[in-house]
Structure 1
């Protein structure tokens, strides 16, 4: 699979061993489009998360797969373009937890670039989906690629907090632990997915934002300013 824009050089090195897997899943996605399937997100956004500087990632928010609503997924888990209204319910629940955790009022939009600019990587386990069909591209081959990405982040040995939302994401906890150097500053925060189907089964009240900042400060790193709207 090739992008209209290049990957960050750090990600290019980290994912180079997965080029065969990327090409294979890229061919499958292309074939599905040719057969009339509406694949989300747009081609130029499928690997968008890997344009974020690899060496600057200090918080990983890992989800499951993109929003299945056309116009919603943009290649960054849980985020949408600023003009999207109403917001996806998962993002509404994230904002509710953020408000209850840190007292930050919900933003009027879903543009989360204020987070990514501080080294927060928004990644899904599966990077494409058929419109209207959640989890429809599970098992297509993305899991191998994103597991390699998680391994690479953990293996750096630099401070990393991994926030794992949902069953698919939580499967990466052992991978993170297995690949981290013994003395690496690694924090893992797990909970249910913020989807309306599961948010009340452990997402609400999990306090991921304050817990992340506590870990970063414990390691002598700057906390994340979790405000989304700075206007």
Structure 2
């Protein structure tokens, strides 16, 4: 590694970071932190839909609570598997798998025809965010210059918090637009279903980014 003034150049077998404190590393870290955004979004988006889910599927409080929490089971499994898969296949390929799982979960949960169907898609989404919660910070720590590694690692937590905020905000906007979460919004689907479906947008972005950023060294 060599430094001249405020500039830095770090060479690896995969790519070179140039600029003050590795500006490219900052951009790559922001891209990886989208996985943290998905984590926060998925953990909070159901808050705006839970009452409508309970009403539409005629659930008792126990089943309702189980459906809300079941995504964490998938998250735990995804977190356990992610490290082994990333070591075998590489960080970016596993990031892409996480994006696919979350994308499928968003669409499937929004179109769920029964509570158990919804629960299945919640578990699939949990697998995706469990993967992202492990691979994203690993990737950030591996590409970050040592001078700003701690600051870049904190992007993951910032992204999780921002994902929670966006999920709750989108829930409120969709419910307000339809009149209530249980009212039809677009294409004959209730607003609570769109709360899940909009999660496909950041999932697609995450998947695209996994093809555009370099593999970690």
Question: What is the TM-score when the length of structure 2 is the normalising length?
Answer: 0.27
Which structure has the highest helix share of the two?
Answer: 2
